[in-house]
Structure 1
């Protein structure tokens, strides 16, 4: 190919210039990496065109709330007393000065809103507290303050810092402990965890690569000073890709932070394949320049196909419809292209400059691999039968793998804000709310009464709806108006932050609190609530929104996204292989072991109880993109040996004993990159890293068994046909 000629000529004529250019780009990337921004939450899960997400954003715009709350825990031996309630009022006044903070609720605020003052008599205070705000006092030693957040999500970090700071400003009663949690504080702590996670995963990946290269690649490299060169290539690749993030406008999220260890593991494959062939040519007595040129042309096609198919696997994540997955796939694809270019330019340039003359080196035969390969070739029918059995059993498990849509389960469970959120749930139960937004001709008493009646009907019809509130709920706290004139007067007196929660122009909002349930149960409830609203026939139009509604649609994204990504990966890779080889059988061969692996890994996930998540939904396309590399390298070398006149069995033996060592190194280092995710504090990353390692190991085994077995099986069929003719 002309491209390989360009690479080899550049390495022969300008090796120093290539090295200098790469070093310059590396240091530039390190500087750019300081400008990387962070993002998380629904904005990273839904595209801007997603219907339900647009409704969610419309609600936050119209009603001036982000449907998020921060919470303050007030703990003590007995918090139902005048001194503690007075403290909550003072704390509320201080917190309300924070930009982006709306209404503040607490048992003390509920009493003042009804009476206009805080009773000093302890019995009167206690009576009103349990009558008006029982929810905010789940037990005498615990009171809850709820802080509604009206700012957009990009302000959450600032708000979280301010809440924590202002909690220290108001003197607390003796024996009272105050703690904060809620969405803004969770997001703030998650951002800090993301940065730490990437650093820990990166360090773990590098350490694993050192160990794996030292154990496996040592048998390939004759000059031990070059043993870690593939790791140098992978680190350069990961840093360069990271430096491109601010240029491309890609933020660091709980999903994209995984690309760093992944690229470290994946990039080594290309470098290891090239360096392995370079060493093989050097052992034949070639000069360093000639060995590099021969290696570029020999492995260039396989590396190119492997790179393109892997890039297809990553780019297929665009079909998921999830921005964070699309960013992860796009960034990883760019990183692989960088690794490919470095492996065929920078690596050979370093090798030809530093190799010099090499003395006689005895070629190390991989006897165990050769014996194994001949066994596979002779028992190809048995290998294929076992493959069919594994695929059948695996697909049963694959179809029954569960789905995790609770975002709080995706993030570190030991974060202080998360521990407090779990404590809150254990005390007061679910705070999942379905928000109904309905258009009306105008807000008058007749409309409000009918709207409240409909909400009451929905709540009474559905046992899983535990509570509800709307504008009528708020009005009843100030004395329900008798007519439109009184309504107008009451609405004028209501604080804007309270009123806007329920009324926006001609729209009314109602909040239904629902019991904890999985996404399938909630999907049934969601559909039933829509049917009941339609049956009641009030309003010109409506929509349902809220965090729990979006979580349900995340499950749809996981299922539909996985199917789209898988089909796109299969189709694009098959068409590419068909175009390159002009042979249906050669296009199918690399896909056979991958199909086996997808089924087997699904079965393993089912047996171990590992659920699908937004990240692991990409596993099939990643398996196709990553695992097919091994199959292509095996098939390419096999076809090369067959063209040289080797028998099918000898071709398999030579392929596995030579190329097999390189792909075992590649597979183990690739697995090491994903295994580094298992040190992440994010459960979503740990599970993904674990199943990815299993996928890679099975892909490696399948490439060394299923591919040779199928190639020999095809050859035997052709031989029988020729004999019959």
Structure 2
């Protein structure tokens, strides 16, 4: 196979050049079609039950993704200037296209609910226009602080901050809308602090900055790699084929991703920066050995055949194992991670194919004169700065083998303990650095308010009273005195009810039908049915029941007392507020009415307000579902998980009313769901890939002993990296989870090259000390160079403003350094101890 590939590369060089150029241009043409996606919701499959329910809940209760604008005055926001600015920003926000005007909330467009006289309630604008003096501002403070739905949501308890909630039609417009709001606020010349935050803004802003980062990091990685290769080989023409292969690999892979219609998510945005260093690995091995082997006057094609004869098989297997490591990510239930794994894995194999065809074609095309000039400029390998250090490392690794292995065992034990300390956590707002304006806004506003993060408890009545109504219809339709036409109509209504489950619609239909009939018997029978259905309809409106609302209220009290929830808002709060004003207007009447009719009366009054639609954010019109809005001061998954567990424990101790079912919705909850799936999926993919790579190692070396030996460096490296994460207290988040695949692929790459060359050198010399000494010449240099190239290739990420990119840069550089060092120390140490067993044949 290798001879066939080399014959094509050497004898059809121009075809190789033009073919690579044409292929690259075809895929580059797809790049302008790029679509960015940073919505964490898309981390879940579209058919995921929690995601489906979340979207159903949003539609049912008319909930929208929301931008939070906050104004802070360290003295008090209750002054004419600050309130005037708040009114101005509110009016401007309502004029922006893409904002849901009816649901926008601020002091400037909500009602003050007060008592006109006992039994009469007054709804008037809280602040249609800003007050002209401090006395007017103080009145607004007193009114706002009396309303539980506003306190610590629209105004802070300390009186130093006010908020504007801007619901938007499309979360992909959040960054543009936030930018417009920021520009307008800047034009006001306000002396107050203004902040803009919210998960939609964080996610969309991340998409914008991610796009910029893609355009900066990948070229910088390429430049860094190019400079490193020049340092190693001191000749630009000599390193060009490696750079051409890397750039072509990145452009073709990204073009294929975009051309196939995949959006660029946070994960797939890292494909280019992952592939750029990995794609030069094989080229470095070829260039390194070519520089060692080529002699003046020798044909380049002859040298490249020798080099490829040695390197083709280990390069093939290292590429396959790296590919397996990334393709294992397709076992996870997270679509963006699957796409990332698929395209990085495919890109690695593409890089291998391009390397074994293009690099030999390029090198063999150099004429003797040009090649001689190149080799004169190449630094002698024995004079490389790496060589003395590697020789010393080789001597250390070959001596005191037992001590080395004891140290590795201790390191492994410490790593396992560190893994037990890992915290699984993520938060999209923390994807930005601590000094980013979004992080600052998040911190400031969550200090003043009950929380800018949302989670929703959705309570659903599962009692099927429609079934009883259908039985009642069947009973009436069975009366012999009824006319055939009415009986047929009733049976049609039963079918409609079974499908729609809407008793209110049935009552209206019966009422309309009664006016059409002239048969007194049919009219009387329908009247009986109507009375039965009205009774069932009243029972079906579970969230008019004081006992059910009291359960919700008690749950809210428990959540508030836990300290995990900043505040909760529910239908019970609306009912209590209106009931207080209908009665005495004092806090003693801030209670639930004693009957369902009393509850219905308060809600009827509330619908006379300027914002009657707000009621349907908390309950459905048939009163069969109700929503509790939780405000959280933290978007960390750990905190959301603690809230979920708190609710579960409360329900165990205080069972839900009969027939009620509780479900979760909201972005904060969905983040927990996808991260739990990611952790389980990553573990499955890592274990599956580990087994596959072990089998491949045994097949490659045709030896169980060498197969196991090849797996030891990556086992220690993975354990050490994740143990370090636990020891440092770094959260296990999305970028960290993906690093395992790279660790598995590249750590075993180093081991494959080392073992393959070790066996070949031993077979040639049959002297262990000489074998070890030779292993720490060109083979160790090639491994070290690759580790340095890959590690340095990720260093541009360290300067990114986005934390996931910095995390990847730091840990990948660490992984490369550790895995190379472990390979170069552990393998010779262990082989020294068991060489008689390893080489017994």
Matches within 5 A, 1:164-243: 164=182, 180-218=196-234, 225-243=237-255
Residue 407 (structure 1) aligns with: 428
Equivalent of 1:536 in 635, 655, 663: 655
CA distance in 2, matches of 1:544, 1:141: 32
**Change in CA separation of 1:466 and 1:488 when aligned onto 2, cut-off 3 Å:** closer
Aligned with 2:265 (options 250, 253, 260): 253
User: Residues of 2 paired with 1:568 and 1:606: CA distance?
Assistant: 23
**From 390, 413, 417, the counterpart of 1:392:** 413
- Note the 1:148-167 alignment, pairs <5 A: 148-149=166-167, 151-161=169-179, 163-164=181-182
Name the SS for the 1:610 alignment partner: coil
Say which one has the larger Rg: 2
Q: 1:66 to 1:707 in 2, by over 3 A?
A: farther
Aligned mates of 2:193, 2:676 — CA distance in 1: 42
Q: What is aligned with 1:702?
A: 822
Cα distance in 2 between the residues matched to 1:599 and 1:74: 47
Q: Is the 8 A contact 1:95 1:166 kept in 2?
A: no
Out of 57-66 and 678-687, give the one that drifted further: 57-66
| Partner Cα separation in structure 2 for residue 107 and residue 473 of structure 1 | 18
* Alignment correspondent of 2:124: 116
User: Which residue number corresponds to residue 641 of structure 2?
Assistant: 523
Q: Deviations over 1:539-572 (max 9, x none)?
A: 4422122233234335524542342232122111
Q: Which residue of structure 2 aligns with residue 502 of structure 1? A: 618
Q: From the superposition, tell whether residues 176 and 229 of structure 1 become closer, same or farther in structure 2 (CA, over 3 Å).
A: same
Counterparts of 2:257 and 2:60 in 1: how far apart (Å)?
33
Aligned residue among 535, 544, 550 for 1:453: 550
CA contact (8 A) 2:13 2:365 kept: yes
Report the CA distance between 1:516 and its aligned residue: 4.9
Spell out, residue by residue over 1:408-458, the C-alpha distance to the aligned partner (whole angstroms, 9 max, x if none): 112244443332222111222534443111222566476353332112111
Q: 1:513 aligns to what?
A: 631
CA shift, 1:489, in A, is: 4.2
Deviation of 1:634 (Å) = 0.8
User: Residue 292 of structure 2 corresponds to which residue in structure 1?
Assistant: 280
Per the normalisation by structure 1, the TM-score is: 0.89
Distance 2:246 2:199 in 1: 37
1:472 corresponds, among 554, 566, 572, to 572
The SS at the match of 1:435 is strand
Aligned-pair CA distance for 1:683:
1.5
Distance 1:174 1:143 in 2: 14
CA contact (8 A) 1:189 1:415 kept: no
Aligned equivalents of 1:270, 1:173: Cα separation in 2: 59
- Cα-to-partner distance string for 1:228-279 (whole Å, 9 max, x where unaligned): 4423322222222222221233333333322222211111111111222333
Alpha carbons 1:381, 1:709 under 8 Å: kept: yes
Q: CA deviation at 1:61?
A: 2.7
1:700-719 deviations in Å (ceiling 9; x for gaps): 11221212233333322367
Q: Deviations over 1:111-157 (max 9, x none)?
A: 45664245766153342133334423338885423325253433434
Measured against aligned partners, the alpha-carbon deviations of 1:62-100 in whole angstroms (never above 9, x if no partner) come to 222245343243759754246754664564344335334
Out of 379, 397, 406, which is 1:376 matched to?
397
Structure 2 CA distance, aligned partners of 1:258 and 1:246?
A: 14
- Gaps of at least 5 residues in structure 1 are none
Match of 1:615 in 2: 735
> Secondary structure of 1:40's match?
coil
Partner of 2:6: 8
Q: Which moved more, 1:97-106 or 1:193-202?
A: 97-106
Answer yes or no: is 1:138 the counterpart of 2:156. yes
* Cα contact 2:58–2:64 (8 A) shared by 1: yes
> Which residue does the alignment assign to 2:485?
none
| SS of match in other structure, 2:456 | strand
Change (3 A) 1:518 1:335: closer
Evaluate the alpha carbon distance shift between residue 143 and residue 645 of structure 1 in structure 2; reply closer, same or farther with a 3 A threshold: closer
On the 8 A contact 1:378/1:649 being kept in 2, the answer is: no
| 1:625 alignment partner, one of 725, 734, 745 | 745
How do 1:322-721 residues align onto structure 2 when only pairs under 5 Å count?
Answer: 322-357=334-369, 358-359=371-372, 364-365=381-382, 366=387, 369-370=390-391, 372-440=393-461, 444=541, 447-462=544-559, 463-464=561-562, 465-476=565-576, 482-483=597-598, 486=601, 489-490=604-605, 493=608, 495=611, 497-504=613-620, 506-514=624-632, 516=634, 519-520=637-638, 522-533=640-651, 535-538=654-657, 539-557=659-677, 559-717=679-837
Distance (whole Å) between structure 2 residues aligned to residue 483 and residue 617 of structure 1:
54
Query: Which of 90, 93, 99 matches 1:92?
Result: 90
Q: 1:553 to 1:275 in 2, by over 3 A?
A: same
Whole-angstrom distance in 1 between the partners of 2:690 and 2:543: 59
Q: Which moved more, 1:133-142 or 1:705-714?
A: 133-142
Which residue of structure 2 lines up, in the alignment, with residue 32 of structure 1? 30
SS for the counterpart of 1:250 is coil
SS at match of 1:107: coil
TM-fit CA distance, 1:623: 0.8
Query: SS of 1:503's equivalent?
Result: coil
- Distance across 2 between alignment mates of 1:45 and 1:545: 15
Conservation of the 8 A alpha-carbon contact between 1:186 and 1:418:
no
- Mapped to 1, the partners of 2:313 and 2:87 lie a distance apart of 72
| Residue aligned with 1:47, SS | coil
Question: How far apart, CA to CA, are the structure 2 residues paired with 1:173 and 1:333?
Answer: 53
Deviations 1:518-556 (A, max 9, x none): 655653442331343463332442212223323433552
Comparing 411-420 with 134-143, greater Cα deviation is found at 134-143
1:269 aligns with 2:278: no
Instruction: Check 1:486–1:456 CA distance in 2 against 1; reply closer, same or farther (3 A cut).
Output: closer
Aligned-partner SS, 1:338: helix
Kindly state the Cα deviation for residue 491 of structure 1 after the two structures are TM-superposed. Answer: 7.0
Alignment of 1:48-67 (within 5 A): 48-67=46-65
Cα distance change of structure 1 residues 217 and 383 upon mapping to structure 2, 3 Å threshold: farther
Match of 1:106 in 2: 106
Output the CA distance in 2 between the equivalents of 1:436 and 1:485. 22
Q: Provide the secondary structure at the position in 1 that maps to 2:104.
A: strand
Task: Verify: 1:319 aligned to 2:309, yes or no.
Answer: no
- 1:306 is displaced (CA, Å) by 0.5
Cα distance, 1:475 vs structure 2: 4.5
Select between 201-210 and 153-162 the one with higher mean Cα deviation. 153-162
Contact residue 47 and residue 321 of structure 1 kept, 8 A: yes
8 Å CA contact 1:205–1:673 kept in 2: the answer is yes
CA RMSD of aligned residues (A): 3.3
Structure 2 alignment gaps of length 5 or more: 115-122, 464-536, 583-592
Q: Name the CA distance, whole Å, in 1 between partners of 2:545 and 2:335.
A: 40
Q: Distance in 1 between matches of 2:199 and 2:645?
A: 27
- 1:634-654 CA deviation, whole Å, 9 max, x = no partner? 111112223334323323322
Q: Write the deviation string for residues 358-390 of structure 1: whole angstroms up to 9, x where unpaired.
A: 448796434653454355335433332322222
1:43 partnered with 2:36: no
Corresponding residue for 2:530? none
User: SS of the residue aligned with 1:691?
Assistant: helix
Deviation of 1:308 after TM superposition, in Å, equals 0.7
Tell whether the 8 Å contact from 1:274 to 1:344 is kept in structure 2 after alignment: no
Give the Cα separation in 1 of the matches to 2:673 and 2:809. 25
Q: Deviations over 1:461-506 (max 9, x none)?
A: 3422443222233355555784476467457656464133112353
- With over 3 angstroms needed to count, the CA separation of the structure-2 counterparts of 1:533 and 1:447, relative to structure 1, is farther
**Contact 2:157–2:449 at 8 Å: present in 1 too?**
no
Deviations 1:283-308, CA, capped at 9 Å, x for gaps: 38641122223323321111111101
Q: Matched residues in 2 for 1:474 and 1:32: separation?
A: 54
